[in-house]
Structure formats: C-alpha cells, structure tokens
Amino acid sequence: MEVPVKKTTERGKIETASEKPTFVPSVDIYETEKDVVLIADMPGVGKDSLNVMLDQGLLTIRGKVKLDLPEHSEVRYRELEFGDYERTFRLGPEVSSTSMDASFEDGVLRVVFPKSDWASTKRIEVK
C-alpha cells in the first residue's frame, strides 16, 4: 500500500455536494509475517452505514455518521463536528486482494490483507 507517514490527522471538507463535511479517517497500517493490516478510526459510524470496496486495486472505505437527536429537539450548543468519512488507498503488489477480511467494532474498522506470494520470502532448496 502506498501511504505517506503523517504525524497529524487530516481533517477537512473534501466533498461540497453534501450538507455535512466528509473527513479523512485516521489510519494505522502495519505488517505481520503473513498479513498487511489497516485500522481506520471512524467514530460515530454504524456498521450498517459502512462501505468497504475494492475496485481495480483501489481500496475505498466510506462511513456515514447519523446524528440521533430526539424528535422535535433543537441544538443549543455544539462543539462536536459531525460528518461522513472517506479514504482511498492504492494496493501494491505485496498484498493479495483475493481473500481480504474486514471487521468493525466500536467505530474502528480493521481490514486484513494476506501478503501475496510475490512479497513473501521463501528459501529455495538447491539439490
């Protein structure tokens, strides 16, 4: 995966057609011996409003935040920013996109990609 290392979170409006902003979720990406793992922080997103898509080597994650206010209520004071989340990654040859696995719990998305044969190191016995 081609991802620049960042020290701060990018937060900003990237979609103007919507009445609420779309934020870039913060992610961590790490490698194990067999997998590449992406973890994305998407607070306020429900599992039913999460969308993870892989198309032509591009992984796109989207999540919609639903603000649940009681009926006939009026907001008097607000500091929390509400908006949807979206981020796209280009998968490199080191990951296999054929058997990825995704889970979502407590606003945290976890996507696991097994490493491809191309990326794994193998000892070749010489006879």
Task: State the Cα angle at 114 between 51 and 10, rounded to 5°.
Answer: 45
Average pLDDT of the residues in 96-109: 90
Domains and CATH numbers, the chain: 22-67+79-114 (2.60.40.790)
Spatial contact of 11 and 21, defined as CB atoms under 8 Å apart: no
Bridge partners of residue 23, in order along the sequence: 85
Cβ neighbours of 22 (radius 10 Å) = 20
Q: Per the structure block, which two tokens stand in for 62?
A: 């989207």
pTM greater than 0.85 (yes/no): no
- The rounded mean pLDDT for the chain is 82
pLDDT in tens, 70-96: 889 988 888 877 789 999 999 888 888
